[in-house]
A and B are shown apart, each in its own frame.
Chain A
């Protein structure tokens, strides 16, 4: 039996109603998109065929949704049971993040009614990085719902079904570690095909490794971020001790990311250009400064016991990792021929709506389902 409990309370608060209003506005724009085509609501074009719906909703969104992956990795693979209370909320955020990334892909692809073609073996192109990403993410969404199912079953008091699921759940937990390792690195491999269109600052054969690492640091950062926000929003004690231990792991990964990144830039003689100014170079510096700042903060044990610094470091990592991915997919991408892209307002509203749905679902779930760890009364 888990030690998680619903926290109860009113679901329909003012912020929740605001987020729902954003969703309604987005539905209006989505109707336009489906009646008149993508050109009617987005600024995407033949030079920039992918906009923020891919770069943010899928590429950054699924990295933010790597909390479940990271916690599973720690708890089950490195056998760090003390992190167990963080698993369920992290898993839930992952489930929402990945599910909504899947939904936003349907908004984005032109011939969505044929999306099932991706599952027809005769059509599958095994050379396509995108096929691997699509199948992996699709399967992982299912795996996440199954991993999270015990929470529903507890609520429904379906104990026999829960016991049955409990016997086989280790297979799904294992898949839940394998699949993100595969598709998070492949999200990086994907941009290798862009060739010269992607600035050499980001176009490197280390893309798969760097994307995997960025998913790890962003996953851990989101766990800290989410745990802190939940504590403040729902008047729960901060989980500083356990988060501090978690951030110790992060210092090492952050250091490794920075070494790989700069060793690669150096090997390709790009460092003078990196520090030579210009928009793209500055974006690259900014992305790495965020990570460096977080690492330098978390390297001191005293700072790891300070909830404010922990929280700020987590935000810096989310920013740095998010920028890295945004830069790889949009900022560093230049198809030439004078094409430009900046997201339109409807495009942004739809992305905000997806974030809103995640927030509302999170609030509803933690209030009604046993997700957060029970507070022990001393």
Chain B
């Protein structure tokens, strides 16, 4: 079995924690490692006009029911992600909310599964119902395996997996990056439907390059923005638009070890409802501890041997009494 150096260090670090009362700090430097074929989405809030075409397309492509939460007569009106809504456009607003993409104004924000590089849900799932695709890194769900324990919901730092609470045969529901379309050479429905290029599908490395290019742009000047797709799966299309002023981070580039869905915005991400996250995935911390104790079951077997010896000695002593 191949032992990765990083795993080994993690194991040592967490083993030490159990043995020594010291500074419980497991944050080890890790470099984000996207799989070569990793696919993702770049969502640029400054390009989003809030038309919600992506939500309609998502429901259609994934066969999800409409949700009526507020006004009767409205077709689909979800307030947040739920077991019927895999993708949602929400709005941040401050005061009157006059200026788009400014802290004192307003901004749109899109929420769905981030397709983490080291997904906590995949780590947590006891029966491998949640898996990370070896090729494209999409985090998928298999209901035939799921036992409905909901540990994925505890573990996800973005509160993405949803559970069908009112169904006697419930499933976990989350965005799977339209893997059924991607499989057939297509792209995710939300990006296909997006008219402005706010949701852009593509290989993660290209998306990061595109995001970095946008951050170099001079606000107020006009540039070409790609629409829908950077993967070459569909014919390329560009639109000229005025560049906005971005906050200097790309959300998802480093958070919890990196995510395949990346966000850009003109408003700080914590205002948009994104948690401030460490660069190390939480999953890797508990993995490290489990790894240190249970790797190859060596410690448990040694301890069991010792216990059997001691109990047997004691029981034998009993009989002689």
Contact = CB atoms under 8 A, between A and B. Distances in A.
Co-assembled chains A and B: yes
Interface of A: 34-40, 44-47, 49-50, 75-77, 79, 81, 108-112, 114-115, 117-118, 120, 123-132, 134, 169-171, 173-175, 177-178, 181-182, 186, 189-197, 204-206, 208-209, 260, 263-264, 267-268, 335-337
B307 A177 contact: yes
Contact of B120 (A40, A110, A117, A193): A193
Contacts of A38: 163, 165, 170
Given A129-B124, A130-B126, A35 B155 contact: no
Contacts of A79: 310, 314
B126 A76 contact: no
Contact of A193 (B147, B171, B277, B286): B286
Contacts of B74: none
A335 B24 CA distance: 23
A196 B312 contact: no
Interface in B42-59: none
Contacts of B293: 208
B182 interface: no
**Residue from B157, B165, B167, B300 whose CB has the most chain A CB atoms within 10 Å:** B165
A76 B300 contact: no
Contact of B311 (A76, A131, A260): A76
Nearest to B291: A127
Nearest to A47: B159
Contacts of A112: 147-148
Contacts, number: 202
Contacts of B246: none
Interface stretch (B14-22, B63-71, B232-240): B14-22
A205 B14 contact: yes
Given A37-B167, A114-B144, A337-B80, A174 B307 contact: yes
A128 B123 contact: yes
A117 B145 contact: yes
B168 interface: yes
B99 interface: no
A96 to B, nearest CB: 23
Given A129-B290, A336-B159, A49 B150 contact: yes
B17 A109 contact: no
Interface of B: 14, 17-18, 21-24, 26, 80, 82-83, 120, 122-129, 143-151, 153-155, 157, 159, 162-171, 273, 275-277, 282-283, 285-287, 289-290, 293-294, 300, 303-304, 307-308, 310-312, 314-315, 318
A47 B159 CA distance: 7
B147 A37 contact: no
Contacts of B286: 129, 189-190, 192-193
A192 B126 contact: no
Contacts of A182: 300
B92 to A, nearest CB: 14
B159 A337 contact: yes
8 contacts: A37-B166, A79-B314, A118-B126, A128-B151, A174-B307, A177-B307, A178-B307, A193-B155
B165 A128 contact: no
A174 B300 CA distance: 11
A36 B167 CA distance: 6
A125 B170 CA distance: 21
A191 B148 CA distance: 18
Contacts of B294: 126, 132
A32 to B, nearest CB: 10
A363 to B, nearest CB: 30
**Residue from A109, A120, A204 whose CB has the most chain B CB atoms within 10 Å:** A109
Contacts of A120: 127
Given A174-B310, A177-B307, 20 more contacts: A45-B165, A109-B150, A111-B146, A123-B127, A123-B129, A127-B287, A129-B286, A130-B125, A189-B290, A191-B154, A193-B120, A193-B286, A195-B120, A195-B282, A204-B24, A206-B24, A208-B18, A208-B293, A263-B21, A264-B21
Given A192-B285, A209-B18, A125 B166 contact: no
B148 A267 contact: no
Given A170-B308, A264-B24, A124 B166 contact: no
B118 to A, nearest CB: 10
Contact of A109 (B128, B147, B273, B282): B147
Given A173-B311, A205-B285, A46 B159 contact: yes
A109 B149 contact: yes
A111 B148 contact: yes
Nearest to B281: A195
Given A125-B128, A132-B290, A192-B286, A205 B24 contact: yes
B303 to A, nearest CB: 6
B128 A124 contact: yes
A209 B150 CA distance: 24
Nearest to A45: B165
Given A50-B150, A128-B151, A170-B311, A117 B127 contact: yes
**Residue from A81, A130, A197, A268 whose CB has the most chain B CB atoms within 10 Å:** A130
Contacts of A81: 314, 318
A36 B157 contact: no
Contacts of B303: 178, 181
Contact of B310 (A34, A46, A77, A132): A77
A49 B163 contact: yes
Given A46-B163, A130-B151, A205-B17, A170 B315 contact: yes
Nearest to B26: A205
Contacts of B312: 170
A160 B198 CA distance: 77
Contacts of B307: 77, 174-175, 177-178
A34 B145 CA distance: 19
Given A195-B120, A335-B159, A337-B80, A77 B311 contact: yes
